[in-house]
Structure formats: structure tokens, C-alpha cells
Amino acid sequence: MNRSVIVALIVISTAMGFTMWAFSSSMTPYVDIHQAEKITGQVQIRGKILHSTAHWSDSKHALVFMLKDKNNDLVEVDYHGAKPEAFDTAPETAAQGVLSKSADGKLVLVSDSMVVKCPSKYSDTKGLKNDTKAHSAAENRI
């Protein structure tokens, strides 16, 4: 075996090892709120957005809303960042962050990253098939 192949193998194996490490450390598991309470680091909680609770908090400079997970547990999410475009119509989100207790003992997910569903109105057939609203709305305008 010549030297260059050895060098190449070293590079590849180092890269592989590094990839494994990076991979395992950046897959944040989806957990429910109950499980999340036991984890101190980053978690990803998936659940329903309670849109009626969503508001911009001037003091926190954050989008604040309640998230309901599949066990119907509730947690407040303080999302520090620009609001994702599809947030308003998204039924669900997966919010990532660190769960902490606020001063008044409330559970708060301090989140910096959030994935939401695409705007359904524009994602092809869904917008029309399951409701007639889009259609009637179009008629109302005329």
C-alpha cells in the first residue's frame, strides 16, 4: 500500500469518527413534557400550538405561546427569534430548547429553534380537498 492511500484512509477514518460524534450529539430526541422535565440539556418537544395564547412579549423579546403535547400536558414556550413564516397556520410545531423553571415556578421551554409545518394553503391539494372554505371565500370576494 502506498503512502497516499494510507493518508487518505487516515482522513476518512478520522472524518467518520468525527461524524459519529457530531451526529450523536446533534440529534435532539423528541420527548414529551413529562420526559423533558428530567433532561437538563437540549430537548425537542412536539405538540399542538395553542394559537389563542400566542403573543409577542415586549419584555422577553420573544414569541410566547402554550404548547400541548400528546399527553395533553402544557408548557409555555418562549421562542427567541424571528417568527417562522408558517407559524400562524401551523397546527403543530417541534420546538427545541432547554426546559427551565421561571421565577414563579412555571415550566418554560426557552427555545431558539422551531420547525413548523408549511403553509397548507399553498401546499397543493390539501387546501381545497378537506374544506370548502377556500372555495366559498373565493366566491365571497366576487
Q: Coil, strand, or helix at residue 91?
A: coil
- Quickly count: other Cβ atoms within 10 Å of residue 99's Cβ: 22
**Binding flag, residue 137, other proteins (CB under 8 A):** yes
Return the residue of 72, 103, 104, 125 that touches other proteins, per CB under 8 A: 125
Shortest Å, Cβ 37 to other proteins: 19
- 40: which 3 cell numbers? 437538563
Query: Which residue type sits at 43?
Result: V
C-beta atoms surrounding 49 within 10 Å: 23
User: Could you say which DSSP state residue 37 is in?
Assistant: T
Give whichever of 104 and 125 is closer to other proteins, judged by the CB atom: 125
10 scored as a contact of other proteins (CB under 8 A): no
Q: How far is the CB of 62 from other proteins (least distance, A)?
A: 8
Span 14-33, contacts to other proteins by CB under 8 A: 15, 18-19, 21-23, 25-30
| Region for residue 20 given its phi and psi (left: phi exceeds 0; alpha: psi -120 to 50; beta: otherwise) | alpha
Binding to other proteins (CB under 8 A) within 56-115 occurs at: 56, 58, 61-63, 78, 80-83, 85-94, 96, 110, 112-113, 115
